[in-house]
Amino acid sequence: DAGVTQSPTHLIKTRGQQVTLRCSPKSGHDTVSWYQQALGQGPQFIFQYYEEEERQRGNFPDRFSGHQFPNYSSELNVNALLLGDSALYLCASSQTSGGAFSYNEQFFGPGTRLTVL
Amino acid sequence: RKEVEQDPGPFNVPEGATVAFNCTYSNSASQSFFWYRQDCRKEPKLLMSVYSSGNEDGRFTAQLNRASQYISLLIRDSKLSDSATYLCVSGAGSYQLTFGKGTKLSVIP
């Protein structure tokens, strides 16, 4: 059973460029969350996708956008890259069930390490 | 004020020692709590969930005090393989997880 996969593993971009990161969830999972982890910090929630819609969003600017496909995979797009966007971008998948007030474990992928020069 | 705060460490302990990590959270609406473990340059992995009644998994014991908004993790008989960063996490429903900055543990031979 494949876990969460992400591509690419590493990426180097320059300021002002745009980037697309990809995530395939664990088999049987229908929900994808994206997190940004800067060096020395804990992961910070960017947004979550369920049923091809953004369900919740953290405190990130509109430069960060996403998409979920019918097969539950997801993309994270970042426009107009800034030096401060350099981080490990983590995708986590889970299965939504039991209503909004039940927790379902989120499984993390290995991440994409983005460097902005 | 950060939503989840924890001592960043590092904690350097000898093999066999007992070490305790503490964490506080500010969002009283948080309903679920966890400890994640993150090895260097790897993704976070769930170590254990935390319940008000306290729960134990082998050498690991987690405790939640909702009145004080305080979470703890106790590791007994530390092993070299326990060296990692331990992330305190709160969650609201099925949605976002809020992570602390993490506490780095180094177990020394």
Task: Provide block-wise average pLDDT over 10 residues at a time, chain A (117 residues).
Answer: 92 98 95 95 95 93 97 97 98 77 79 97
In this structure, the strands spanning A19-24 and A74-78 are antiparallel
Q: Give the mean model confidence (pLDDT) for residues B78-102.
A: 90
Does the beta carbon of B28 lie under 8 angstroms from any beta carbon of chain A? no
Predicted confidence band of residue B95 (pLDDT cuts 50, 70, 90): confident
Subunit contact B31:A101, Cβ cutoff 8 A: yes
Subunit contact B4:A42, Cβ cutoff 8 A: yes
Say if residues B66 and B24 touch (Cβ distance below 8 Å).
Answer: no
Subunit contact A110:B46, Cβ cutoff 8 A: no
pLDDT at residue B92 tops 80? no
Lowest-pLDDT range of A23-27, B48-52, B72-76: B48-52
Q: Given B42, B87, B93, which is nearest A103 (Cβ)?
A: B93
Q: Give the mean model confidence (pLDDT) for residues B64-72.
A: 92
Predicted confidence band of residue B1 (pLDDT cuts 50, 70, 90): low
Say if residues A75 and A20 touch (Cβ distance below 8 Å).
Answer: yes
Q: SS3 letters for A20-59?
A: EEEEECCCCCCEEEEEEECCCCCCEEEEEEECCEEEEECC
pLDDT recorded at residue B93: 62
CB contacts < 8 A, A to B, total 60
pLDDT recorded at residue A70: 96
A residues 48-77 closer than 8 Å to B (CB): 48, 55-56, 58
pLDDT recorded at residue B31: 83
Mean pLDDT of the residues in chain B: 92
Subunit contact B95:A44, Cβ cutoff 8 A: no
Q: Give the mean model confidence (pLDDT) for residues B63-88.
A: 95
Subunit contact B101:A44, Cβ cutoff 8 A: no
Q: Give the mean model confidence (pLDDT) for residues B34-57.
A: 91
Does the beta carbon of A36 lie under 8 angstroms from any beta carbon of chain B? no
pLDDT recorded at residue B73: 97
Lowest-pLDDT range of A100-109, B9-18, B25-34: A100-109
